[in-house]
Amino acid sequence: MIKQNKEKILLSSAVILLPALYGIIMWNHLPDTMATHWGADGITDGTAGKALAVFGLPLLYLLVHLFCLWLTLRDQEKRRQSRKALEMIFWILPACSLVTNGILYRAALGKEPEPAMLVPVLLGVLFLWVGNYLPKLRRNRTLGIKVSWTLGNEENWNRTHRFAGKVWVCGGLLLLMSALLPLQAMVWVMVCVVAALGLAPIAYSYAIFRQDRKAGVVYDTAPKTKAEKIASKITAVTVPVILLGAVLLLFTGSMEVNCGEDALTIKASYWSDLRVEYSKIDTVEYRGDFDPGVRTNGFGSPKLSMGAFRNGEFGNYTLYAYTNAKEYIVLTSSGKTLVIGMDDEARTQAIYETLLEKTAPGFGLRLA
């Protein structure tokens, strides 16, 4: 089977490596350090050297691609898969390589991407694509909706995958439309849709199983190995915990800024608190939007953006801000820079005025 698809394997592998060729051509135009990851708040929080960014990701995609093809084509059971279903395995990672590396190059060449919008768009396209292939999958233990009810009955498998295909296509369209929503609403829709797309086919398959059992339909009962039983138990526990944790991190948390008698204190969810004594504050500045640069350590969600950052204006600095902040307080203390952004402009203004009163008079600076 591998020999029969040799040309397609070589072609798909070459497509995966095309971004590396583009990187070689554009080498002199690329910065020495390239952004490689963005947080849920849309801020760059991962970088890599030019050589690693240009060659590392395509090579990683290539290794995963070849491994997936080896698993798929070597199995006699999966050799009976429809050719259209196998096409998905051949081309899904080449497509991902072109898209993700394209995003990296756009950012490196100064065309800042919109990561918040790109995530639902990419997921939407992925679900649309896979949803079209799901009804064509034949029963197997590697590809598709693999639960005991689908694996135990051919009709259950077929009906479940026809249903899943329709649901995934509709879900993909919803994800594409969610890219037009405000950030927090978009993330809510994205999490709910992805969870529904994963759970709905399983629930549908179980409902068919219940009906069949009442009708006396016999299901195959292939015994599970010890490793499969352990994996099932681990999955049943870890998946809900991971989903719950992700929801909590994405949609909860707050930041409190208090001006006490002797110091400014910041209490923040999911990140360390901070205390700055007024006597150690050197300058205070009120300003509009600014370029946060790159987060080198910290926490980012659709609601909060905090931690250690680095940009061209301040160098290394500390940020505590809501993602919807429009105006900021920039203060320096003992040679270090702190930026604060509240979700309410009136609150930001009040903190700034209080800081001016609490510190030495005459050095407050306001920039529009």
> What sign has the CA pseudo-torsion 273, 277, 278, 280?
negative
| DSSP assigned state of 139 | S
CA separation for the pair 244, 255 (Å, rounded): 21
Q: Where are the beta strands (DSSP E) in the chain?
A: 33-38, 44-49, 255-259, 263-268, 274-277, 281-287, 294-300, 304-311, 315-322, 328-333, 336-341, 365-366
Left (φ > 0), alpha (ψ -120 to 50) or beta: where does 233 sit? alpha
Please tell me whether residue 166 adopts helix, strand or coil conformation: helix
Predicted confidence (pLDDT) per residue in 138-170, tens digit: 887 767 888 888 888 889 999 999 999 999 999
pLDDT at 72 over 50: yes
Burial group, residue 226, by CB count within 10 angstroms (0-12, 13-18, 19+)? exposed
Predicted confidence (pLDDT) per residue in 237-273, tens digit: 787 788 777 777 777 888 999 998 889 999 998 889 9
State residue 2's pLDDT score.
63
pLDDT at 334 over 70: yes
State residue 112's pLDDT score.
61
Give the CA angle between residues 12, 15, 18 to the nearest 5°: 160
| DSSP string for residues in 245-277 | HHHHHHH---EEEEE-SSEEEEEETTS--EEEE
**Chain Cα centroid distance, residue 148:** 30
Based on its alpha-carbon atoms, the radius of gyration of the chain, rounded to whole angstroms, reads 26
> What sign has the CA pseudo-torsion 99, 105, 111, 117?
positive
Are the CB atoms for 190 and 123 separated by under 8 Å?
Answer: yes
